[in-house]
Amino acid sequence: MSDSSSVANGPKSEIYEALTSIRLIDPHSHINPHSPASTTLADLLGYHYYTELAHSAGMPKSRIEDEAIGPKELVERLVGGLQPLENTAQYSWLIEICRTFFGFEDDRLHLNNWEALYDRSESIMASAQWSETVLDQSNVQAVFLTNDFDDALEGFDTDTYIPCLRTDDLVFHLAKPEVRGRLAACTGIELDGSLESLRSSLKQRFEHFVRRGARACAISIPPTFTPTPVGDGRASTALNAVLQKGISADASHLEALSRRVFWTLAELCDEFGLPFDLMIGVNRQVYPEGVFQGQDLYDSRVSLIQYRELFNSFPNVKFPISVLASVTNQELVSYAWIFPNVITNGHWWYSNTPSFIARDSAARLEAVPQTKQIGYYSDAYKLEFIWPKFDMYRKVLSGVLADQFVGDRGWSIERAVELGRRVLRDNVDEVFPRPEGAEASIAPEEITGVVGVATAVAGVTEVLQVDALPAEEEVQELGVDDVELSDTPEPTGTSADELETLVEDETLDVGNLLDEDEPTAQITPLRGETSFNPDDDSLQLQSDPTTGEFTLPVSDSDSDDTLEISPSEDDSPAEKTDPTAETVQELEEFDLEFLDDDEESK
């Protein structure tokens, strides 16, 4: 699946080929595990990179965010606005997806060729195993998620979709009643003004996440924030002010509470052995009239010196750090070179284009211990983007290795590839080990998440279980009004057993994917394809055209629009009572399924 045409022959090409054979774990994404892949091109073109760039190039927001637009109409509109973006790296991701996954053969997507692609891709994506196919074609073993703190983390295979506790809301928005409401609902602990209640509820979240296999705590941080400890007295005052006045509390109280919560999270990372991913530098809503998720920018005047006390105070917490601006990269290099607990992490967002990656990765590779560099993460919202984004990185990395290690330093190709493998894959395993205390994944491990490329077969028992019992997110996605969650389990119409008859029962031997010491055998296309052209016979399973999943039949007993969800085994009762009325309502106001991730969770 390598695109060797655009890589010159020689060491760069050889290194690139070797790197593409490395099976990946993507250490940061925004994948929704209940709907990991796309169902139509609208899921791809709806990615904020395209909406915001098209908007920036002149397309009115109303053309994109009109609730009444169907996915096909939306794609037509966006395609009509793509021409100004054809130079961008982001556009090249899109074309590469279309060529790699949908047999697209053109260089550009335009109003004369989009519809055939739309239809063809829709039928391909309708495969019940589409997510698995994408993962496999992309040579991806597992994907880290970005989970809201009150995510139940149920209904998906946590070995393939690895939970991460995202804490922006807790640190920066605890003053909002709805956030406190969510926290109380999922923990069963009401903030009563005592610091104990605050710590207990946060700790309960760590227990929940670690039990479900979470491998990181994560947060994005504005450039103005400086994490320092807050004494109990000050913190108590701040907490009580916030409990009384919410977001109207004095800014100094809001800020003190933020720092206290942040510091407590760091303590809990220490206690639970979780790395604390810091994504430093984003200013939210700089452009409030921008499109969804296209409103955030930054002030590059930030320094890691602001984290001095944090790094010193938590020597046993690993801090994988992403910086938004390339001008902060040298500081990141220097701090990772000195502090044992500082790790360089990927190329984030506005620095995730080739020229910034090239200069930033070169600086890291020559000065940070090789064991302390997480080369890349996709940040993707849909699985299809993992491939082109990692491939962009692999090409840049190959160039740096070829020029600066093989060329300038006389390394062998093999040694260069060894370094590439370390930053691409090995360090992910080592920096983010499975925490002690995690329960086994629900899914039977021997049949997890991988299917052959050219044969649409699978044993996706676990996925089917998900669909049988919808997760909270899925309920919300359906936009059902007045959802009431109860503790009473009740079978719904589609069972795993019924669906099993629809799929072939042959499962592929894909090796022991969980044994990190054993190199995973590379999956080879059966007929030696370099791209994937599914035949129609393989695609008989019909999925919901909107969600890409098996449809969720509304139970007959749901005449009052109440869905009843089975309780999970491992959480406090509060987690299953109705925490989300407000959230559901908010989401309903914004009905684009492919856009409904939390804008602050990027």
- Environment class of 173 (CB within 10 Å of its CB; exposed 0-12, middle 13-18, buried 19+): middle
Q: How many residues bind a second copy (CB under 8 A)?
A: 81
* One of 70, 177, 231, 369 touching a second copy (CB under 8 A): 369
Please check whether residue 349 is in contact with residue 358, taking contact to mean a CB–CB distance below 8 angstroms: no
Distance, CA of 245 to CA of 466 (rounded, Å): 40
Helical (H) or strand (E) element with 164: strand 164-166
For a second copy, which is the closer residue by CB, 152 or 332? 332
Q: Does 287 bind a second copy (CB under 8 A)?
A: yes
Secondary structure (3-state) at 600: helix
State in angstroms the smallest separation of the CB of 376 from a second copy.
16
State in angstroms the smallest separation of the CB of 526 from a second copy.
27
Q: Does 53 bind a second copy (CB under 8 A)?
A: yes
Give the 3-state secondary structure of 512-539: CCCCCCCCCCCCCCCCCCCCCCCCHHHH
Q: Does 404 bind a second copy (CB under 8 A)?
A: yes
Q: Name residues contacting a second copy, limited to 380-399 (CB under 8 A).
A: 395
State in angstroms the smallest separation of the CB of 16 from a second copy.
11
For a second copy, which is the closer residue by CB, 173 or 308? 308
What are the start-end ranges of the H helices in 370-455?
A: 386-400, 413-421, 427-431
State in angstroms the smallest separation of the CB of 96 from a second copy.
10
* One of 116, 338, 502, 521 touching a second copy (CB under 8 A): 338
Q: Does 110 bind a second copy (CB under 8 A)?
A: no
Secondary structure (3-state) at 570: coil
Which value, to the nearest 10 degrees, does the dihedral of the CA atoms of residues 238, 243, 246, 249 take?
-30
State in angstroms the smallest separation of the CB of 163 from a second copy.
27
State in angstroms the smallest separation of the CB of 300 from a second copy.
5
Q: From 103, 136, 13, select the one nearest 394 (Cα to Cα).
A: 13
Q: How many CB atoms lie within 10 A of CB 589?
A: 7
- Environment class of 321 (CB within 10 Å of its CB; exposed 0-12, middle 13-18, buried 19+): buried
For a second copy, which is the closer residue by CB, 19 or 469? 19
Distance, CA of 157 to CA of 574 (rounded, Å): 23
Distance, CA of 361 to CA of 356 (rounded, Å): 8
Q: Which amino acid is at 108?
A: R
- Environment class of 297 (CB within 10 Å of its CB; exposed 0-12, middle 13-18, buried 19+): middle
State in angstroms the smallest separation of the CB of 294 from a second copy.
6
Give the 3-state secondary structure of 3-50: CHHHCCCCHHHHHHHHHHCCCEEECCCCCCCCCCCCCCHHHHHCCHHH
Q: Does 540 bind a second copy (CB under 8 A)?
A: no
Q: Does 339 bind a second copy (CB under 8 A)?
A: yes
Q: Does 51 bind a second copy (CB under 8 A)?
A: no
Secondary structure (3-state) at 143: strand
Q: Name residues contacting a second copy, limited to 84-103 (CB under 8 A).
A: 84-90, 92
State in angstroms the smallest separation of the CB of 356 from a second copy.
6
State in angstroms the smallest separation of the CB of 484 from a second copy.
39
For a second copy, which is the closer residue by CB, 144 or 311? 311
For a second copy, which is the closer residue by CB, 329 or 543? 329
Binding segment for a second copy (CB under 8 A), chosen from 196-204, 209-217, 235-243, 350-358, is: 350-358
Q: Does 539 bind a second copy (CB under 8 A)?
A: no
Q: Does 311 bind a second copy (CB under 8 A)?
A: yes
Angle, helices 11-20 vs 386-400, to 10°: value is 140
Q: Does 528 bind a second copy (CB under 8 A)?
A: no
Instruction: Classify 14 in phi/psi space as left (phi over 0), alpha (psi -120 to 50) or beta.
Output: alpha
Please check whether residue 583 is in contact with residue 56, taking contact to mean a CB–CB distance below 8 angstroms: no
* 368-393 as b/e: b if 16+ CB within 10 A: beeebbbbbbbbbbbbbbbbbbbbbb
Q: Does 57 bind a second copy (CB under 8 A)?
A: yes
Q: Does 502 bind a second copy (CB under 8 A)?
A: no
State in angstroms the smallest separation of the CB of 281 from a second copy.
11
Q: Name residues contacting a second copy, limited to 317-336 (CB under 8 A).
A: 325-328, 330-331, 333-336
State in angstroms the smallest separation of the CB of 108 from a second copy.
9
Q: Name residues contacting a second copy, limited to 421-480 (CB under 8 A).
A: none
Q: Does 308 bind a second copy (CB under 8 A)?
A: yes
Distance, CA of 273 to CA of 556 (rounded, Å): 46
Q: Does 363 bind a second copy (CB under 8 A)?
A: yes
Q: Does 365 bind a second copy (CB under 8 A)?
A: yes
Binding mask 243-282 toward a second copy (x if CB under 8 A, else -) reads ----------------------------------------
Q: Does 350 bind a second copy (CB under 8 A)?
A: yes
For a second copy, which is the closer residue by CB, 181 or 407? 407
Q: Does 220 bind a second copy (CB under 8 A)?
A: no
State in angstroms the smallest separation of the CB of 498 from a second copy.
47
